[in-house]
Structure 1
Amino acid sequence: MRIGGSTGSPHTPRTHRHGDRPTAEPERAADRAGCAADTVTIGVSIPVPEPHGSLLQDSRAGFGDPLARCIPTHITLLPPTEVAGDALPAIDAHLRRVAEEGKPFDLRLEGTGTFRPVSPVVFVRVAEGAEGCSRLQEAVRSGPLRRELHFPYHPHVTVAHDIAEAAMDRAFEELADYRGAFLVEAFSLYRHGEDGVWRPVRHYAFA
C-alpha cells in the first residue's frame, strides 16, 4: 500500500497552505522485496471509506499512477513488514487487543502536500485526527509488530507517487481544495500478493 515502506522522511514537505511534519511514502519497499517462502509481507492501515476511498483512488489512477488499482486508499499505521507465516496468529491476537482498547475518532482530510524533491510523492493532508492516528500506530507497532521507524510518523493519503513531474503538479493542484471527513471506527490488516496487489485480510473494529 502505500501500505507500507517507512512512515517518515528526512525533509520538510511542501504543503498546500500549511506546513506538515516530514514522512516518506510507504509503498515501494514492499514492491521490491523478495520474500522467502516462509515469510509474508503485511501492512496495517486505516481504510478510507466511501465515497472518499473510490474518489481518491480514481483521481490517483487519472494522474497516471500505475499502482493506483493495486493499493486501496488508506492511511498507513504499519509500513510493509516481512513476518514469518507462523507468526500471523499472534499478530492477529495482538491486533484484536489493540482494537479492543481503541476508541473511534474523527478524521478530516483537507488540501494537499508533497515530499518533493526528496521523495516523489503528493498526498492529501490529515487536517484533523493526526493524534488519533499516531496513538493507534504506536499501539499497532508494538508486541509482535514492534519495529523502529526511520523518520517521525506522519499520517497522509497518497494520491501520486513516482510519476511524471507534470502529473505530480496536476495532482497537487487539482486536489488542493479537496475536503472529506469520516469517523475512524476500525483498521485493517493487509497482505501483499505475488501479483503486487495489497488485499485486506481482516478488519478490526474498535470495541
Structure 2
Amino acid sequence: MGTVTIGVSIAVPEPHGSLLQERRAGFGDAAAHGIPTHVTLLPPTEVEAAALPSVEAHLSAVAAAGRPFRMRLSGTGTFRPLSPVVYVRVAEGAEACTRLQQQVRDASGPLARELHFPYHPHVTVAHGIEDAAMDRAFAELADYEALWSCTGFALYEQGPDGVWRKLRDYAFGGGPVVPTQASAPLEQGTLPAH
C-alpha cells in the first residue's frame, strides 16, 4: 500500500478561512490554494497507508476527550530569519492548541514524532516568497482579528499534486462529526481599510 503524507489541523472557519487563503494567494504564495487555512496540530508526517485505521482511532480518542474552546486571531508575527514565514497570531486558544498537539503526538500513539521547531500555534499567510511580499503580508494583516468557537479538528492527506485534502473531521466530546466550516464565527474577521 505504500506511505501517505498526512497532517492534523484546526481549520479556520468561514468566512475567515477563504479570506486569509485569498490574501495569501494575493501576496504571491503559489501554495495558497493547495493548503486550507489552518492551525497545525501535526505537521506533514509520512505514515504507512495501512496505519491509517489506527491513526483515525487515535484521533477519535483525542477528540472524544476534548472540549470546545475559544480561538481568537489577532495581528501578525514572523519566524524570519529562522524560517521564511509570516503568520496571523493565535491570541486566544494557544494553550488549548498546545495541549491538543501534544495529545496527537503522544509517545504511546501512532503519530509520535519530534518537531523540528518548538510548537507555536499560528496561521501561515505567507511562506517562502520575496521579502517585499512578506513585509506586505506582515503590514497589511497587522490589524486582522477573528474569533470563533473551535469544536474539533481534521485529518488531511497531501496528494501527489501537493494539494491537501480533508480525510475526516473529529468533533470534540465524541459528538457527531460536523464539518469544521460549519463552526459559526462569533464575529467577522476584519481587515484594515486602505
Q: Could you say whether these structures have the same fold, taking a TM-score greater than 0.5 normalized by the shorter chain as the test? A: yes
Picking from 23, 32, 52, the partner of 1:88 is 52
For 2:89 and 2:58, locate their aligned partners in 1 and report how far apart those are by CA, in whole Å. Answer: 29
Say if 2:31 is the partner of 1:70: no
For 2:12 and 2:38, locate their aligned partners in 1 and report how far apart those are by CA, in whole Å. Answer: 5
Which residue in 1 is equivalent to 2:161?
195
Q: What's the CA shift for 1:89?
A: 0.4
Picking from 182, 185, 190, the partner of 2:148 is 182
Q: Deviations over 1:127-172 (max 9, x none)?
A: 1110000011111112011111233210000000111111111000
Q: What is the 5 A alignment of 1:7-156?
A: 38-142=2-106, 143-156=109-122
| Long gaps (5+) in structure 2 | 174-194
| Long gaps (5+) in structure 1 | 1-36
Q: Which has the higher strand share?
A: 2
- Give, as a single letter, the amino acid of the residue that structure 2 aligns with 1:103: R
Picking from 106, 124, 129, the partner of 1:163 is 129
- Give, as a single letter, the amino acid of the residue that structure 2 aligns with 1:123: Y
For 1:116 and 1:91, locate their aligned partners in 2 and report how far apart those are by CA, in whole Å. Answer: 33
Over the residues paired in the alignment, what is the CA RMSD in angstroms?
0.8
**TM-score normalised to the size of structure 1?**
0.81
For 1:109 and 1:76, locate their aligned partners in 2 and report how far apart those are by CA, in whole Å. Answer: 14
Runs of 4+ in 1 over 2 A off after TM superposition: none
Q: Deviations over 1:48-70 (max 9, x none)?
A: 00011001000001101000000
